[in-house]
Amino acid sequence: MTSAVASSGTKTTSTPQENASPEKFRLMLMMALTLVTGVVDAVGYLGLDRVFTGNMTGNVVILAMALAGAANLPTLGPLVALGAFLLGAAAAGFTLQSSPKGWNRRVTLLLTAGCIALTGTAAISLSVEDVGHQSIRVIVAALIAMHMGSQALIARHLGVRDMTTVVITSTITSLAGESLVGKQRPRLLNRRLGAVLAMFAGAAIGVLLLQIHLSVPIGLGIAITAAVTVLGSRRWH
């Protein structure tokens, strides 16, 4: 009797649905983190004076236009956010460089640190009366951007296809150039569209929650990131 046959004499084979289940679970976790990016970018752009905390392309463009002489564009906030994002990505890269691909304790540690950073920003916004002061906005944006840089590197390390959690331009390009006009049967409803919609939904939710208080959308980001951390550490493999 071979190892493929159980003691009862029946073969123990898994169904296609069972094989796909772990991938779907991982995909949902990455979708959740993509939604968080939309939320915190809404916080950054509307609540922290036009600073992108997750999508660094926006900060680069804003800085370029401001330095070229465009009026009424911020420079300090986008510059600090860009530097903080790079720092977060570098720290995550250093932490994960010797670990195997996939979820491990270091991923859990990094995401937990991100939750702590986001909690710090929520605490600042609740405890400081003048959240609109430039120095406070810059500190809050820097802490969020540092976590988002770490999250972006974690997504690369986990390697779920089409799920960067912070970059949508390349996803839209793949959706239009491969999913819709590829050699295989065109598919609109797929993970690429899901990532775009997750970012869209996150930004919309962030705008609505900002009407309550700056800390509220940040709190949602904390809750989602914490849930992903717990579920990922338990069920990723």
Per-residue pLDDT of 158-168, as tens digits, reads 999 889 999 88
Q: Are 56 and 82 in contact (CB under 8 A)?
A: yes
11 CB neighbour count, 10 Å cutoff: 9
Lowest pLDDT segment from 107-121, 125-139, 141-155, 195-209: 125-139
**2-47 residue pLDDT tens:** 444 444 444 445 554 445 588 899 999 999 999 999 999 999 999 9
Query: Which residue carries 């009797």 as its tokens?
Result: 1
Give residue 170's pLDDT.
Answer: 82
Tokens standing for residue 102:
């996939």
Q: Are 27 and 164 in contact (CB under 8 A)?
A: no
Which long-range CB contacts under 8 A does 176-185 form with residues at least 24 apart? none
User: From residue 2, how far is each of 8, 9, 19, 166, 173 by CA, in Å?
Assistant: 12, 10, 22, 47, 48
Lowest pLDDT segment from 35-39, 124-128, 211-215, 227-231: 124-128
Residue 137 in this model has a pLDDT that exceeds 80 = yes
Pick the more confident residue, 195 or 183.
Answer: 195
* pTM of the predicted structure, to 2 decimals: 0.85
Pick the more confident residue, 14 or 215.
Answer: 215
Alpha helices (H) along 43-104: 56-67, 76-96
Give residue 169's pLDDT.
Answer: 82
Average the pLDDT over 101-117 and give the result. Answer: 96
Alpha-carbon distance of 27 to 41, in angstroms, equals 21
Q: Are 51 and 78 in contact (CB under 8 A)?
A: yes
Give residue 1's pLDDT.
Answer: 44
Alpha-carbon distance of 31 to 194, in angstroms, equals 7
**42-83 residue pLDDT tens:** 999 999 989 999 999 999 999 999 999 898 899 999 999 999
Give residue 185's pLDDT.
Answer: 58
- Report phi then psi at 217, rounded to 5: -65, -35
Give residue 121's pLDDT.
Answer: 95
Quote the Cα angle for 170-171-174, to 5°.
85
User: From residue 193, how far is each of 95, 148, 188, 196, 233 by CA, in Å?
Assistant: 31, 21, 7, 5, 26
What is the separation of C-alpha 158 from the centre of its chain, rounded to a whole number of angstroms? Answer: 12
* Structure letter (DSSP) for residue 8: T
Alpha-carbon distance of 61 to 68, in angstroms, equals 11
User: From residue 140, how far is each of 34, 147, 226 by CA, in Å?
Assistant: 20, 11, 19
